[in-house]
Structure 1
């Protein structure tokens, strides 16, 4: 598992609701989204790649919680399918009504509040912290 920037307790504090079932999985996927959005960002990390500056730690936690909050509000489970299709079935596979969203497979559909948390902390690509 990769780096996870927020805990279920932080998610609960962010949303004001109990953490949903599977919160750890949702936070792990949201942390991957945050990592993908910050591929070119520079900030101090420890040996495990976790941020060390308190403001950076908080910004990544906030962005991760905002990403999960957004995914829950849009009915996404962290896979990205809900952001791209009106309806998805798995057996025997049925997709319908493609929505606007990231246009390339590697694009990140970052939540607006997650983007703002990262921008306010100066963590967007090209910014040195």
Structure 2
């Protein structure tokens, strides 16, 4: 089964408000893998190809994927996780420096905060089994 990619370069550009980077397709594929890893215990209806049938779920997966790439772009990561955190960041009067290598989340993947919120809003994380 081919890996699902939950967002397009056009969706990424709309999400970030900037032109998608040249390697947007590669970044979106890696981000989609991270989203899939975070959803190992999530339960939602899919079609015969494994794609979500609920438009709200599909939109949340696309938003989370774009948020993951946006996070990488903001932190200087390339989707490999090798960039680490910080190393001198200034936002207005706030300044952060040094490197942090926080342990990975329980899913084994570090989700961007906005990606996690997009998934949480539609009930995909934490994974819950609902009686039908």
CA distance in 1, matches of 2:25, 2:115: 18
Q: 1:61 — aligned with what?
A: 62
Distance 1:27 1:127 in 2: 28
Work out whether residues 39 and 124 of structure 2, in 8 Å CA contact, stay in contact via their aligned partners in 1. Answer: yes
- CA deviation map 1:58-110 (0-9, x unaligned): 00000000000001101110011113696xxxxxxxxxx86222348x71110
CA distance in 1, matches of 2:124, 2:102: 23
CA–CA distance in structure 2, aligned partners of residues 127 and 66 of structure 1: 26
5+ long unaligned stretches in structure 2: 88-97
- What's the counterpart of residue 94 of structure 1? none
**TM score, norm. by length of structure 1:** 0.83
SS at match of 2:80: coil
Check conservation: 1:66, 1:111, Cα contact below 8 A.
yes
Structure 1: stretches of 5+ with no match in the other structure: 87-96
Determine if the alignment matches structure 1 residue 52 to structure 2 residue 53. yes
TM-score, scaled relative to structure 2: 0.81
RMSD of aligned residue pairs (Cα, Å): 2.2
5 Å-filtered alignment, 1:6-45, equals: 6-45=7-46
- How far the C-alpha of 1:52 sits from its partner, in A, is 1.1
Q: Please state if 1:110 is matched with 2:111.
A: yes
The whole-number CA distance in structure 2 between the counterparts of 1:45 and 1:19 is 28
SS state at 1:123 partner: coil
Q: Note if contact 1:102-1:108 (Cα within 8 Å) is conserved in structure 2.
A: no
How many aligned positions are there?
Answer: 118
